[in-house]
Chains A and B, each alone.
Chain A
Amino acid sequence: MTENQPPAAAAVSASGLRKSFGDKVVLDGIDLHVRAGTVFALLGPNGAGKTTTVNILSTLIRADAGEARVAGHDLSAEPDLVRAAIGVTGQFSAVDKLLTGEENLMLMADLLHLGRAEGRRRAADLLGRFGLADVAAKTAVTYSGGMQRRLDLAMTLIGRPRLIFLDEPTSGLDPRGRRDVWGMIRDLVAGGVTIFLTTQYLAEADDLADRIAVLDRGRLVAEGTADELKRLVSGGHIRLRFADVSGLDGASRALGEGARDEEALTLQVPTDGSVASLRALLGRLDAASLEVAGLAVDTPDLDDVFLALTAHPDSVQEARS
């Protein structure tokens, strides 16, 4: 087998991936490039096509069009070589609940033809690393959600894949379980593995990923580092609350911008998040002798990223350049 990878070794390179289910277009031509040894996050809301992308790249389903090389192998020509190089942990724990933790790992070891001794060694190592040694002999049905997810990840790792797909690895986990998974992902990256992660949480992508691509309704609407994406939505907005409608009216006039909420008596003003702009804003309100009943600074979240990206189609080019 010739390993003629491009110079900047790509773990995943895909172009023009398309997929429809019936007449519903799920992926509308997406290009991806993931450098080996990095964490790549595919960020998007439910139904954006994240899982479909993972399913295509992990050989579960075929794309209708487009081509991709995964771990150096052509996806459609050499699916088994791709499978041998990747590990996949999906949204739902893919563990056999009637088997014990150890049996689950040994099942994987047997399917990977590791041999009994080596399989047992790796299983014991992973059970210890993932804090499952005490429950290794209990059936997985007795495990908590977080424990099942850890076992799932251990099963993915026993074959020592070079590229790991994690499809919403923290969905449905409590904060502690989420933190555990994040820690494991960081350890993996330190070991030189490439991670392809999907998530709906900007914070998660921000925390873990080297590069983030934002997927919305089957199209990539932005791609860049976390900082580049945040620049797109600047600093979010400031929410001003007033005691009565006249205060709200006065502020609308004085500032000349912002989204009014008559019910809550609030005005939302966009801001770049800097102290200077906040000071200037308060100065203008002071000059108009307006009494502000309350003030909140909203930091940008996924909604803001999407709103910014759909409101200013030009920014997509900006972020890509």
Chain B
Amino acid sequence: MTTLSYAVTDSATMLRRNLRRLMRYPAMAVSVLGVPVILLLLFVYVLGGTLGAGLGHRYIDYLAPGIIVLAATSISVSTAVAVNVDMTEGIMNRFRTMAIARTSVLTGHVASAVIQAVLSAGLVAGVAVLVGFRPTAGPAGWIAAFAVIAMIAFALTWISVALGLVAKTPETASNLPMPLQFLPFLGSTFVPPASMAPGVRWFAEYQPFTPMIETVRGLLTGTAIGDHAVITAAWCAGLALAGYLWARRTYNRGGR
């Protein structure tokens, strides 16, 4: 099908454009990466002693998988901003008046964001190993963990693209994904939900990030995964589909 091959070609063109922009203005990507690294160091060196004592084993091994997922989710802000800047600067309208594969603008953003997310997660994983993270996973475990991370990034990115299209200004676009970024804090990133107060605990157990983090944690450190993997896949499929439909609708309508 020529339509499909054009869709792939045009998306690849857009991806090239986004990666080129990223290389030329890396400040945003670097600052995005800073937060998870700082959190990692803060929790390992400042809070880790006490938290680890509470958990009964090395805290870094509990913490690192959560922070790695957090690194992947932090791309949502820069994605929403990038999409919004395209829209407010008028180049999105130029693309929309061209006979190109309709949503290649958006898939280009998604592809570049997933690549960034996986790279960020990889970098944070590297830092974690440097400060003492000792995962039990073999190569297959690592690959599986990063496949899950790519899947999570894919889902969150579609939501972020929609948020970027809905926002009126880049400032709003950078604020809208905040709740998304805050969710991991109310999940099993730093401490097991079982140790939380009842209301929060209920929320932590049922929100999407807990199964996501538990799946990555299980793949990397050998903790029990159970049905977390299935729930993660369901959440990712649902979020990605909802984000895609929302983004496509907003894009075809001309944003806002």
Contacts and interface: CB of A to CB of B under 8 A. Distances in A.
A58 B21 contact: no
Given A60-B254, A94-B90, A139 B24 contact: yes
B140 interface: no
B90 A113 contact: no
Contacts of A110: 13, 16
Interface of B: 6, 9-10, 13, 16-17, 20-21, 24-25, 89-91, 93-100, 253-254
Interface of A: 55, 58-61, 80-81, 83-84, 86-88, 90-99, 103, 107-108, 110-113, 139, 155-156, 159
A111 B98 contact: yes
A96 B91 CA distance: 7
Contacts of A91: 90
A113 B6 contact: yes
Given A107-B13, A111-B10, A111-B13, A96 B97 contact: no
B16, B21, B93, B98 interface centre (most CB from chain A within 10 Å):
B98
Contacts of A103: 20
A55 B100 CA distance: 17
Contacts of B97: 58-60, 83, 86-88
A155 B24 contact: no
Contacts of A113: 6, 9
B17 A107 contact: yes
Contacts of B99: 80-81, 83-84
Contacts of B94: 88, 90, 94, 155-156
Nearest to B253: A61
B254 to A, nearest CB: 5
Contacts of A93: 89-90
Contact of A90 (B24, B90, B100): B90
Nearest to A156: B94
Contacts of B21: 96, 98-99
Contacts, number: 65
Contacts of B10: 111
The 4 closest A-B pairs by CB, nearest first: A94-B90, A94-B94, A84-B99, A83-B99
A204 B89 CA distance: 25
A80 B97 CA distance: 9
Contacts of A86: 97
Contacts of A112: 98
A119 to B, nearest CB: 11
A55 B254 CA distance: 10
A235 to B, nearest CB: 40
Count chain B CB atoms within 10 A of each CB in A80, A83, A110 and give the residue with the most: A110
A61 B254 contact: yes
Given A83-B99, A111-B98, A139-B24, A96 B17 contact: yes
A91 B88 CA distance: 12
B95 A111 contact: yes
A317 B191 CA distance: 78
A98 B96 CA distance: 20
Contacts of B93: 60, 88, 90, 94
A97 B9 contact: no
B2 to A, nearest CB: 10
Contacts of A55: 254
A81 B97 CA distance: 11
Given A107-B17, A113-B6, 9 more contacts: A60-B93, A90-B93, A91-B90, A94-B89, A96-B17, A96-B91, A111-B13, A111-B98, A155-B94
B100 A111 contact: yes
Contacts of B24: 98-99, 139
22 contacts: A55-B254, A59-B96, A59-B97, A86-B97, A88-B93, A92-B89, A92-B90, A93-B89, A94-B90, A94-B91, A94-B93, A94-B94, A96-B17, A96-B21, A97-B89, A98-B20, A98-B24, A98-B25, A99-B24, A107-B13, A111-B10, A111-B100
Contacts of B254: 55, 60-61
A166 to B, nearest CB: 13
A90 B254 CA distance: 14
Contacts of A83: 97-99
A60 B17 contact: no
Nearest to B91: A94
Contacts of A81: 99
Nearest to B12: A110
A140 B10 CA distance: 22
A86 B94 CA distance: 11
Contact of A60 (B9, B25, B91, B96): B96
A265 B46 CA distance: 80
A217 to B, nearest CB: 22
B20 A99 contact: yes
A111 B96 CA distance: 12
A11 to B, nearest CB: 15
